[in-house]
Amino acid sequence: MRRTLHLKLVLILVLLIVSLMVVVGAFLMNSVTGYYIQDFYSQIAAAFGQDNADFVRDLQTAREGETDGAAMVEAVLSTNEGVLGVDRRHRNFFVLDGATGRYLGGSAPEPEGGVAVTPNLSKALLGEKGFDSSVTADYMDAAIPITRGGQDYIIYLLDSRETARALNAEMFSLILEALALGLVISVLLSFLLAKTMVNPLQRLTDGIEQVARGDFSRKLEVSSSDEIGQLTESFNTMAQQLETNIAELEKAEQERKDFVANVSHELRTPLTNIRSYAETLDDGVGDLSPAMEKKFLGVILNESDRMAHILQDLLTLSRFDSGRSELRLTLFPFAQAVDDTYQAVLMDAQNHAHTVELHLPHRLPQVRADRERIMQVMMNIVSNAIKYTPDGGRIVLSAGQEGDKVWMEVDDNGIGIPDGDRDRIFERFYRVDKARSRQSGGTGLGLSIAQEIMRRHQGRLYLVDKAEPGLTIRMELPVAGPEEDSHEG
């Protein structure tokens, strides 16, 4: 890339300089010639003008007894060569016969074949002044008819334009020199330009290739604020975005794998139990006491209940994930739901000798939500408090309103959650103490379902920091309910 861009740069600069020189050269040379022609005619016109009346009179007035008028005219012209710019090399004057144009005299001998009849000379032969010259011709001339002593003459001035040509040639060689210098400068300049333009592009290309290989470690340095700088910046942003997306994808993929592994594991345990108890029953038909048989059957029923429970939870989650589960929004008093939860768990709490307190403010608003699901969340977090608090614990349920939200908090003085696990308990199948949770019938899916339900309601479910042992968990719910499309995605 570097080569071709550099070559293009050189080519552009060379073309630019050549075309500039051609235009400037043509313009200069043309105007030098134009100036030279104009100067010639204005000099002649001034010589024959009114300011030079003596000269004109000397030319036209014949002396008494004059025999050779042409010689006299030639003599007058000779003495006025300076006025006419005649140098006898590039510019000459001729005295011609006014009727035939025949050579009668001049500052130069008669040219071979006589003086050429130019358009100006033809005009003068008709009695008019000939004063024109084309820029492209290689000579310029002027022909002025005069009468002296009754005889017609033509004063003919011929300039070979040698001076203009010499000047142009000089200028041409100057332009060529400038061109050569310009070319050298443009090549040098192209290196500089290549350095400032091509190098950042090269770096960008290297960076893109690196990212294409999957290496996001290096950020490109933005060294300018121009388009290339902006491009580099956009590229950096894009690479970063890509890296984040890939990381998220990898995380999701890992979660999916873990989930499948977890589901298999969770279902295998009760299935193994059922199988081994059924086998024992089968092997010992007739040998086992009815009490033993009843106990084994009880375990089998329990384990199959557990499986059904897990499958039910998985189904719920899958409905949420696929967006097939609609919220059935109704208007109901939030305080009532909290109280119902309290009443529902009271028995269970008493069985574990827990004291349960309920703190409800006098007035709590009605909320627009799916009552059954909200109750499910409340039940889940209160049941957890009962489960994960050693018997004889203290559980406090409180609720309230904050702005356009209502909240419920469940606080216990149980085993709590180690700092390292706090972030993870909302993950599917995550349990701090698997044996303990399983023993109490937990699936490890309760809190992830609860959090999903709250998210659907545009509410929140989170752990509240507390210094004392135990756990405080809090749910928040917008009073007005979720906006219409909240369950999408």
Q: Which parts of this chain interact with ligand ADP (CB under 6 A)?
A: 380, 384-385, 388, 412, 414-417, 425, 430-433, 437, 442-447, 471
Nearer to ligand ADP by Cβ, of 68 and 433: the residue is: 433
Nearer to ligand ADP by Cβ, of 28 and 432: the residue is: 432
Q: Output the residue with the shortest Cβ distance to ligand ADP.
A: 442
Burial 148-182 (b: 16+ CB within 10 A, else e): beebbbbbbbbbebebbbebbeeeeeebeeebeeb
CB of 330 to ligand ADP, least distance (A): 26
| Alpha helices (H) in 100-197, listed in sequence order | 119-125, 162-193
Nearer to ligand ADP by Cβ, of 63 and 466: the residue is: 466
CB of 213 to ligand ADP, least distance (A): 41
Task: Please name the residue that has the structure tokens 């909290």.
Answer: 338
Q: Amino acid letter at 489?
A: G
What tokens were used for 361? 């403010």
Nearest of 25, 6, 29 to residue 17 by alpha carbon: 25
CB of 386 to ligand ADP, least distance (A): 8
Q: How far is CA 173 from CA 112, 138, 198, 302, 390, in A?
A: 34, 20, 36, 109, 107
Distance of CA 183 to the CA centre of its chain: 35
Eight-state DSSP code of residue 63: P
CB of 428 to ligand ADP, least distance (A): 8
CB of 237 to ligand ADP, least distance (A): 38
Nearer to ligand ADP by Cβ, of 205 and 440: the residue is: 440
Nearer to ligand ADP by Cβ, of 157 and 381: the residue is: 381
Nearer to ligand ADP by Cβ, of 371 and 428: the residue is: 428
Nearer to ligand ADP by Cβ, of 168 and 413: the residue is: 413
Cα-based angle 360, 363, 364 (whole degrees, multiple of 5): 75
CB of 368 to ligand ADP, least distance (A): 26
CB of 380 to ligand ADP, least distance (A): 6
What tokens were used for 79? 């003495």
Measured CA to CA, the distance from residue 277 to residue 297 in angstroms comes to 8
Q: Which helix (H) or strand (E) covers residue 248, if one does?
A: helix 227-283
